[in-house]
Structure 1
Amino acid sequence: MKHKRLFAAMILSAFVAAPAMAEDNQNWRPWGGGNGPGRQAMMDRIGAIDSNDDGIISADEAADQVESVYAAMDADDDGELTMEEFMAVRMGPQLGQNEARQKMMQDRKKARFGEMDVDKSGKVSKAEFIAAGKARFEAADTDKDGQVTPWEFRAQRRGWQ
């Protein structure tokens, strides 16, 4: 069985990276204030996607991440994700401090599986998964320049558009 550990963020949401923190700009925080575990987890996930460390996620970087996540989730390598395979990969640290929030996030994750299963087969094909990832990237790319900045991502996640 495959190694299941990923930064799994991003499957469907974290397609952008924060700009590298220059020594003279260490107080700049595109993801919000504080240095708690939630902020660090977000930065770690984002850094895993931004392969050239330029602070922006390109369409190619996002596509590579979506394909990697799909491959990691498809535990039996049959080219289709079952609900069990999809739910088996944890999204984020889930420290167990807020059970109601964890339940809400798991419910959202189940709903995303249903949305991705376009043909309603009960499984998500690689093509369906990639199409969903592409749609999320395109929704975040508000200026349609083929890349997503931390600001675009944050606005999309918080509904500021």
Structure 2
Amino acid sequence: MTHDRKTTLTALAVALGLGASAMPALAQPVPPPPGPGPAQAIPMGPGAERMLQEADANRDGRVTEAEAWDALAARFAAADADKDGGLTWEEFRAYAFSAGPARRVDPARMQRFEERAQAMFRAVDADRDGRVTTTELRPFAEAMFRSRDVNGDTALSREELRPQRVRPAPGPSRVQAPRAE
């Protein structure tokens, strides 16, 4: 899968509620946590970094909601093979997975991802006609944008595009057993 196609899938996956790290996680294994120490944030993957660079129209290192929507709308238009203003699952999948070098991905993992992506695709398809339009996509994209805008400044930074999960620090559990009396 090319970086552009992977970025498109990531952008649409984010808009569909799958999270910014869905495809990078499929493309490469997450390295094991380092030795003893504090919890460590997972770095932003190359797909999210590229998405930030492509969407950042004024090159200020931040992506506004308008910039994010413009970038997503352009990708949507490119994926709309028949140019009818709606994206079918087949168009989405064909665009996202076409061209580029084949990667070795666990087939079971890929199937689970596709099942989740199809479920989210159906959820965004508000009128249940088998096509997602930009009118249907926009509320989801805006909600995802707002959920990532942690500091509420109406723009996303590199830090806000990083996955929101944190690896726990290795070591003993912090849960204490109840005391016997």
Provide the TM-score with structure 2 as the length reference.
0.62
- From 53, 71, 90, the counterpart of 1:65: 71
- From 82, 89, 96, the counterpart of 2:104: 96
* Deviation at residue 108 of structure 1 after TM alignment: 2.1
Q: Flag structure 1 segments of 5+ consecutive residues without an equivalent.
A: 15-29, 34-38
Larger Rg: 2
How many pairs are equivalent?
A: 135
* Deviation at residue 40 of structure 1 after TM alignment: 3.4
Within 2, Cα distance between the matches of 1:44 and 1:113? Answer: 23
Give 1:12-161 correspondences, 5 Å limit.
Answer: 12-13=13-14, 14=20, 32=43, 39-90=45-96, 95-156=103-164, 158=165
| 2:88–2:131 Cα contact (<8 Å) kept | yes
Within 2, Cα distance between the matches of 1:147 and 1:80? Answer: 28
Q: Measured at CA, do residues 59 and 151 of structure 1 come closer, stay the same or move farther in structure 2, by a change above 3 Å?
A: same
Which secondary structure state, in structure 2, belongs to the residue aligned with residue 11 of structure 1? helix
Range that drifts further, 43-52 or 80-89: 43-52
TM-superposition CA deviations, 1:60-85 (whole Å, max 9, x none)? 11011121121012111111111211
Within 2, Cα distance between the matches of 1:58 and 1:49? Answer: 9
Equivalence for 1:10: 11
Within 2, Cα distance between the matches of 1:125 and 1:90? Answer: 17
Q: Which has the higher contact order (CA 8 A, sep 6+)?
A: 2
% of aligned pairs identical?
30
Q: Measured at CA, do residues 98 and 54 of structure 1 come closer, stay the same or move farther in structure 2, by a change above 3 Å?
A: farther
- The alignment yields a C-alpha RMSD, in angstroms, of 2.8
Q: Flag structure 2 segments of 5+ consecutive residues without an equivalent.
A: 15-19, 21-40, 168-181
Provide the TM-score with structure 1 as the length reference.
0.69
Within 1, Cα distance between the matches of 2:66 and 2:134? Answer: 17
Which secondary structure state, in structure 2, belongs to the residue aligned with residue 81 of structure 1? strand
Equivalence for 1:25: none
| 1:74–1:80 Cα contact (<8 Å) kept | yes
* Deviation at residue 59 of structure 1 after TM alignment: 0.9
Following TM superposition, the consecutive aligned residue runs of length 4 or more in structure 1 with deviations greater than 4 angstroms are 91-94
